Structure 1
Amino acid sequence: MSSEILYQILTGHQSDVNWVDFNGHRKLVSCSNDRTIRLWETNDQQYFDKPKLSTLIGHEYGVNCVRYSPFGTIIASASTDGCIILWNSQNGEQNII
């Protein structure tokens, strides 16, 4: 019987985590009441903070939901502040429409 660990605990948020979403391409996004969105990548062994782009900040209140677009190029986040922000998933910039 193998003693391989089949789970991982990701830490980084400073408050309750409200939502997570996989984009299907080795990436995960999470949001929290700490008003941040965190991006994670995997090396097929474990998830880690995405280098140089691990935390997206822009909401005034807790972030309730976050989702990748179907092709993984945009991240949409919704907050108690009444705003939806669209983020470029490659560089973390807010998309201007």
Structure 2
Amino acid sequence: MINPAPLEKLRKFFGTEGDSFVREVIVRYLQGAEGMLNDLERYCQQQDISQFIRVAHTLKGNSASVGADEVSQLAADLEIMGRNGDLSGAPEK
């Protein structure tokens, strides 16, 4: 489920260009999120905790900015796992 509030704020801020701007934001988010999910998987397998934390943190913020609250929360959980130094539950997330 998407929280429409962040995107609606962007749409209103950009006025007549709002719809096209929001479409572009969504496309870029989806493209970036796919790469970040792949990165998280790779860093988890490599046990590269510092990179795992960095990507999880970025995914958390990017997701929140487009209203993908559930993804943002999952990324926050992954970030905490990384900060705790235990990625054992990350693949299931």
Fold match, TM over 0.5? no
Bigger proportion of residues as helix: 2
Q: TM (normalized to structure 2)?
A: 0.26
Richer in strand (by share): 1
Greater Cα radius of gyration, structure 1 or 2: 2
**TM-score, normalised relative to structure 1:** 0.25
